[in-house]
Structure 1
Amino acid sequence: MGKRPKAIVIGSGISGWMAAICLAEAGIDVDLVSNIERYQANSVCVQDGIGAALNTKGEDDSDWKHFEETIYRGHFLGNQEAVREMCKSAPPLVHLLTRMGAMFCRTREGFLELRQGLGSLYQRVVYAQDHTGKEVLYILGEQVRYWQSQGRIRCLDNWEFLSLLLDNRGICRGILASYRPTLEIQIFRGEATLICTGGYAQLFATNTASLSANGAALGALFRQGLPLANLEFVLSHPTTLCYPQKALLMGDALLAAGAKLWTYRQGEKWYFIENQYSHTASLPLERLAKTVYNVIYLQNLGVEGSDSIGIYLDCTGLDKKIWLENQRILQFCQKFLGVDPRHKPVLVHPAVYYCLGGILVDKKHSTQIKGVFAAGEAATLYHGAGVLGGNPLLSAIYGATVASKSITEYLEGQSLGTFLGGDSQLQEQQKRQQKWFSQQGEENPFALWQELRQMMDKVAIARSERALLQTREGIVQLRERLGKAQLPDSSRDSNRSYFMALQLENTLDLAEAFVACALSRKESRGAHWRLDFPQREDEEYLATSTICYDGLRVDYQKVELPYLPPRPSLEDFDFQEEG
């Protein structure tokens, strides 16, 4: 019997675990590499459910309507063929998860309960109260442990990804990673590598993501020559609690159930969403976030809180059933704010929630480096410029199944032979490590990281050429200051400051690429909002933006429209003209 092929999966969230399970079932050995402990991935924070056209509510829903809404809410930048297949596969994937043991909410008759996702006209989202991500992650964890016991999956926690291992033909043959407790640098060899490292929401100071979602791995891959796409599309959620240490997500379910947003104008309550739109639930997230931002910062009608400024989320009229299904959100308010949202409105503001940009992949989730694949929030394929409620989790799960199938086909069709090289790349990373322990200076990597995040916060939602140019200049200055930084900790055991410095090198490049993409796209579309270019411009920008590390040149790939032609969106107006 010949040696089984090996794949490396980087990331221990829902997408990474789903892919590892599928690869193990296909007879492929998997090294599952993560820089955090198990069950600490950003996936565990996901409150939203999974979109699937089960049509159990008598609404005549279908996978075609799911597809149509997805493309429309993505402002026609999503890959239509890939989205079509995802929407067809959604119901079977939900049933697969239930067979694995996922405890989704059900009706009294035993059917899967469905709720309306933001931006949709249909009840289509399958959910597990307000912790769907945690539920899915835990049942996938059971499967990972099974395959681990069978010797098919090897879990490597606390290994920080450093770079791809490339042979002299530019083919990926593994990765280099550093063990966080000891700083040891090691080569992990494999015939294929799947990137499932998540998004880059932590690049912004006000966000709802876990600390691991900092984009450092994306930055490292970008520096190694992997093109990124649609980085300018960063989605903010309109309702996060105004809490100084963390933007705590209030979730889509409350808005979809009828919670109201209001502030004071001329001494009276102003329900600004209801005054403009008939139904909040059918509005997409980015639309709501822009409207809230406009009221708070452009019209200066925000309410001053103890630590921040925001508007009120009024949930006092919601049905008791809503609170039974959103116990974690209720506890957030009671524990961190000392407020019971069932009886008193809470102060909320917008915060970065989900990243729509990432690694450029094709319909098979292949990248432009042979042997490298990407899935989940780390890749850009399905969402385009905006997201339909329930689709982030769906795309993470479905994309993982597609990527694992593509890896299986890739390994079956390859005869790469044994690669024993990589010593020069290992030495390069060792020199990089030594440089940081010998470098002297007055700057602190942690302080520089916080400065970068505060700087990026200013262009997270509303952008202009002036603000973006100022941000780019600030990034250049931070990079110069990083060259004068010294690690505050000189130990070689669990040195957090060393890994912060490594990550900051990568995230500075990612931040500069983000700014370049945002500057280049001179229009407003979905989650990309230019105050100086408020209209959507399909003639020039109905395209995917791509950027490479060399020269930071932004190019555009026209999107194919095999099913749906573009049509106007309610996004097309200038907020500054609102009164």
Structure 2
Amino acid sequence: MTERGGAIVIGGGLGGLWATLTIANASFPVQLFSLFEVRRSHSVCAQGGINAVLDTKGQHDSVQQHIIDTIKGGEYLANQPPIKSMCESAPGLIRTFDRMGVTFSRTAEGLLDQRLFGGVKNKRTCFAGASTGQQLLYGVDQQVRRLESLGQVTKREWWEFLELLKDDAGCCRGILAMNLRSLEVRAFAAEVVVLATGGFGQIYAPNTTTSTNCTGAAASRCYQQGARFANAELFQFHPTAMIGRDKTRLMSEAARGEGGRIWVPRTPDDQRAARRIPEAERFYFLEEMFPSYGNTVARDEASRAIWRVTRQMGLGLRGTDRVYLDLTHLDRALVSTRLGAILDIYRKFAGVDPLDEPMEIFPAAHYPMGGLWVDFERDPDGGMVSESPRNHATSIPGLYACGECDYAYHGANRLGANSLLSASFSGRVAGTSAVCYLRGLGSGHARLRQHDIDRAIARQASQNERLMRSDGPESPFEIHRALGELMTAKVGVVRANPELEVALEELRELDARLGRIRLGDTKDWANQPLSFARQLRDMIRLGTVVTQSALARDECRGAHYKPEFKLSIPEGKFPGDPEFEDYRARWQANNARWLKTTIAEHRPEGPKIDFEPVDTSLYPPVNPRDYR
């Protein structure tokens, strides 16, 4: 076992790299674990940009407006002090990235360029063409490499996190991890662990924009060891995804921000080519349904509108689940400069140039607002205390979480371009908190016993052996496809309690089928089916948390949509009208019941679901947005 001391960071995306950089800069040694080369982390797939109020367009944008947009976009379901601190820190964070050498797109005058993104009315999204995540990740990675060369950071790429090592007091003191090449299971000690392992979109595969490594297995394993999981039911479906035979690929929200228009033919099953359909015969439904925001309406509203137009109105292209995302009316040179990366993706995998013909898109599972529950300490000004060991601490002492695997910033629906911001900011905060935790440790805390470590290693090695020798009729890859189809159909854009109850039964059946699998690969070197089969069980457990949480929340809020419980604003009625006042009373009663964080705790028989209050002290909830 590795010597005690220092920190372990699991995950090499933006959150993990920022945590690593912060801890190592404080002179504590860091071991950085990743399933693959750090530069392949899923942060590189983020395309459109990162939000910060710089007001380079002279629109009188303000940090306060960024805070309000984030809070309202999340339907008030996120604690507000962390949001306040994140939005206030965003401009400085952008300047730090700039000094790191990130190649942001700029105006002709040399200023950082900013574009429009969904759910807002001001241009506050900084970007680097359409490959922003990649440029940000590479910038931070260079800084971590510098510290690695000085011996402050040890990278352990191609290692998979298996479980936490906890002392008798329940504090996290290290991890077990498996070398994905040799399959060696080994213990690593540390005084603090930071989890930054991303989201869990693969429970919806193949209808997801996420990488095949976004299984959520690491967060699921921490949950099964006692970490609380929050707001699992809140999963954002991105409205503009390119449907492919192998996987679903994201067509960035920047396409809408740059002027892209979404439409379908007004005539059902119209077989004409898109360019042959006259303007008068096109249904620009986002512009008609949401005139205040048009095509830049928030993602949950856009996804449900597409769902309604295709599934309920029967206006999908050629009778399929597809609509047009049209860029053909825009300046070709400008679009090529600003959206080059996604244009190349579409050309390569669809064989069509989006500058000549509209893209065909449909909503796909994209981003979980929920994740591991993390704490915060509120300061007198309403933000977070800048240096507190409570910030981003999970319910397991000594374990912190940041990035897409925590729940802290997005409430019921994430604003576009707030993901790269929250990943970077939360990684830095988690790193600072881990440093505070390390500095506060005394010498009298509990120690790990070697025989407990040996027993844990033997248990994990036995599980590997059992899986490799299993000889049942089931394929883990078929079970995974069944999981994705189940979650998409019954726990997707639109939900209903009877279907959720059926989904829970089917998830139990999938879990049982895992006991009858056959890997088809028994070699003890780089056995990919072995790692996948282990992760699949954790995905099913996480799918159960999502479904049980969705069943428990009987309302429509953000990305969680149950039509049976929808509260509709009376048409043509205003404050003072009896019908409007009745609606207001029902809305207030709904908030009193459901404006709470969903908390899941692991039990052998299934997740225990409870609710806890949300801090709305800065901006109390007002009547929900009505784009009409």
Alignment match, 1:67: 67
* Pick aligned residue for 1:543 from 596, 616, 624: 596
Q: Which amino acid aligns with 1:516?
A: Q
For 1:344 and 1:75, how far apart are their aligned partners in 2?
A: 36
Q: Which amino acid aligns with 2:614?
A: V
| Contact 2:4–2:190 (CA under 8 A) maintained in structure 1 | no
Q: Which amino acid aligns with 1:530?
A: K
Unmatched 5+ stretches in structure 1: 574-579
Report deviation, 1:4. 9.1
Aligned residues: 569
Cα distance change of structure 1 residues 572 and 520 upon mapping to structure 2, 3 Å threshold: farther
Report deviation, 1:281. 5.1
Cα distance change of structure 1 residues 289 and 29 upon mapping to structure 2, 3 Å threshold: same
Alignment match, 1:555: 610
| Contact 1:181–1:494 (CA under 8 A) maintained in structure 2 | yes
Alignment of 1:11-90 (within 5 A): 11-90=11-90
Unmatched 5+ stretches in structure 2: 269-280, 377-390, 568-586
TM-score relative to the length of structure 1: 0.95
| Contact 2:265–2:283 (CA under 8 A) maintained in structure 1 | yes
1:315 and 2:347 are equivalent in the alignment? no
For 1:470 and 1:417, how far apart are their aligned partners in 2?
A: 45
Report deviation, 1:483. 0.8
Mean Cα deviation higher: 278-287 or 188-197: 278-287
For 1:569 and 1:291, how far apart are their aligned partners in 2?
A: 17
Deviation track 1:53-111 (CA, whole Å, cap 9, x = no partner) reads: 11222111111111011100010011111111111100000000100110101111111
Query: Secondary structure at the residue paired with 2:241?
Result: strand
For 1:5 and 1:173, how far apart are their aligned partners in 2?
A: 9
Tell me which stretches of 4 or more aligned residues in structure 1 moved more than 6 Å. Answer: none
Deviation track 1:443-501 (CA, whole Å, cap 9, x = no partner) reads: 11121111111111112211111221121111111111111112211111111111111
Alignment match, 2:408: 381
Alignment match, 2:317: 303
Report deviation, 1:570. 3.5
Query: Secondary structure at the residue paired with 1:325?
Result: helix
* Pick aligned residue for 1:294 from 279, 290, 308: 308
For 1:531 and 1:496, how far apart are their aligned partners in 2?
A: 41
| Contact 1:165–1:176 (CA under 8 A) maintained in structure 2 | yes
Query: Secondary structure at the residue paired with 1:524?
Result: coil
For 1:38 and 1:560, how far apart are their aligned partners in 2?
A: 35
Report deviation, 1:293. 1.1
Alignment match, 1:329: 342
Deviation track 1:187-233 (CA, whole Å, cap 9, x = no partner) reads: 01100000100001111021111111111112111111111000111
1:276 and 2:289 are equivalent in the alignment? yes
Q: Which amino acid aligns with 2:141?
A: G
Alignment match, 1:443: 474
Report deviation, 1:572. 10
| Contact 1:443–1:481 (CA under 8 A) maintained in structure 2 | yes
For 2:458 and 2:404, how far apart are their aligned partners in 1?
A: 31
Alignment match, 1:245: 246
Alignment of 1:341-356 (within 5 A): 341-356=354-369
For 1:304 and 1:490, how far apart are their aligned partners in 2?
A: 46
Deviation track 1:492-529 (CA, whole Å, cap 9, x = no partner) reads: 11111111111011111101011000000000100111
1:401 and 2:428 are equivalent in the alignment? yes
For 1:420 and 1:69, how far apart are their aligned partners in 2?
A: 50
Report deviation, 1:137. 0.8
For 2:305 and 2:17, how far apart are their aligned partners in 1?
A: 36
For 1:425 and 1:243, how far apart are their aligned partners in 2?
A: 42
For 1:107 and 1:340, how far apart are their aligned partners in 2?
A: 26
Q: Which amino acid aligns with 2:348?
A: K
| Contact 1:242–1:309 (CA under 8 A) maintained in structure 2 | no
Alignment match, 1:136: 136
Query: Secondary structure at the residue paired with 2:511?
Result: helix
Alignment match, 1:526: 558
Alignment match, 2:575: none
Query: Secondary structure at the residue paired with 1:350?
Result: strand
Query: Secondary structure at the residue paired with 2:173?
Result: strand
Alignment match, 1:433: 464
For 1:572 and 1:8, how far apart are their aligned partners in 2?
A: 46
Report deviation, 1:309. 2.8
Query: Secondary structure at the residue paired with 2:82?
Result: helix
| Contact 2:163–2:222 (CA under 8 A) maintained in structure 1 | yes
For 2:485 and 2:626, how far apart are their aligned partners in 1?
A: 27
Q: Which amino acid aligns with 1:293?
A: W
Report deviation, 1:299. 2.1
Q: Which amino acid aligns with 1:171?
A: C
Alignment match, 2:220: 219
For 1:472 and 1:317, how far apart are their aligned partners in 2?
A: 46
Report deviation, 1:282. 4.5
Alignment match, 1:153: 153
Alignment match, 1:457: 488
| Contact 1:73–1:386 (CA under 8 A) maintained in structure 2 | yes
| Contact 1:216–1:507 (CA under 8 A) maintained in structure 2 | yes
Deviation track 1:379-434 (CA, whole Å, cap 9, x = no partner) reads: 01111001122211100000011111110110111123754532222222122222
Alignment match, 2:124: 124
Query: Secondary structure at the residue paired with 2:597?
Result: strand
| Contact 1:479–1:508 (CA under 8 A) maintained in structure 2 | yes
Cα distance change of structure 1 residues 188 and 63 upon mapping to structure 2, 3 Å threshold: same
Mean Cα deviation higher: 319-328 or 14-23: 319-328
For 1:199 and 1:124, how far apart are their aligned partners in 2?
A: 25
Report deviation, 1:280. 2.5
| Contact 1:296–1:310 (CA under 8 A) maintained in structure 2 | yes
Deviation track 1:13-51 (CA, whole Å, cap 9, x = no partner) reads: 111011101111011111100112221111110012111
| Contact 1:160–1:178 (CA under 8 A) maintained in structure 2 | yes
Alignment match, 2:547: 515
| Contact 1:376–1:395 (CA under 8 A) maintained in structure 2 | yes
Report deviation, 1:534. 2.1
Cα distance change of structure 1 residues 165 and 239 upon mapping to structure 2, 3 Å threshold: same
TM-score relative to the length of structure 2: 0.88
Q: Which amino acid aligns with 1:297?
A: R
Report deviation, 1:539. 1.9
| Contact 1:77–1:384 (CA under 8 A) maintained in structure 2 | yes
| Contact 2:261–2:295 (CA under 8 A) maintained in structure 1 | no
Query: Secondary structure at the residue paired with 1:483?
Result: helix
For 2:627 and 2:546, how far apart are their aligned partners in 1?
A: 23
1:370 and 2:397 are equivalent in the alignment? yes
| Contact 2:239–2:302 (CA under 8 A) maintained in structure 1 | yes
For 1:304 and 1:473, how far apart are their aligned partners in 2?
A: 35
Alignment of 1:180-191 (within 5 A): 180-191=180-191
Report deviation, 1:124. 0.6
Alignment match, 1:576: none
The share of aligned pairs that are identical, in percent, is 35
| Contact 2:347–2:353 (CA under 8 A) maintained in structure 1 | yes
| Contact 1:475–1:512 (CA under 8 A) maintained in structure 2 | yes
Alignment match, 1:577: none
Alignment match, 1:469: 501
Query: Secondary structure at the residue paired with 1:488?
Result: coil
Deviation track 1:310-330 (CA, whole Å, cap 9, x = no partner) reads: 011111111331221111111
Mean Cα deviation higher: 525-534 or 75-84: 525-534
